[in-house]
Amino acid sequence: SSAGIITAGKDKSITGVTVNLYDRQNKLIGTAVGGLKEVKKGKTYSFRAIALVDDEDTLKIDHYKIKSIELGN
């Protein structure tokens, strides 16, 4: 799994996060998905995401960029 940080722009009960995973050369390796329950506007949250990559590629992950944030209720 991967971990990251986001700051909420709105109060929401469910938030889904999708991130792109990159190696040191900035080559896209794959994506990871995670979620948070109940976020509050202006607060910063740590999150964990499940990497959707082959096992041998997990060691190549160097950094991530948030691809999308899906706001629920």
Q: Give per-residue pLDDT as tens, 29-66.
A: 999 999 888 888 888 888 889 999 998 999 999 999 99
Tokens, residue 10: 């709105």
Long-range CB contacts (within 8 A, 24+) of 44-47: 44/5, 44/6, 44/7, 44/8, 45/5, 45/6, 45/7, 45/8, 46/3, 46/4, 46/5, 47/3, 47/4, 47/5, 47/6, 47/17
Write down the pTM of the prediction: 0.76
Q: What is the pLDDT of residue 2?
A: 59
Q: What is the pLDDT of residue 1?
A: 56
Q: Give per-residue pLDDT as tens, 1-15.
A: 556 777 777 787 778
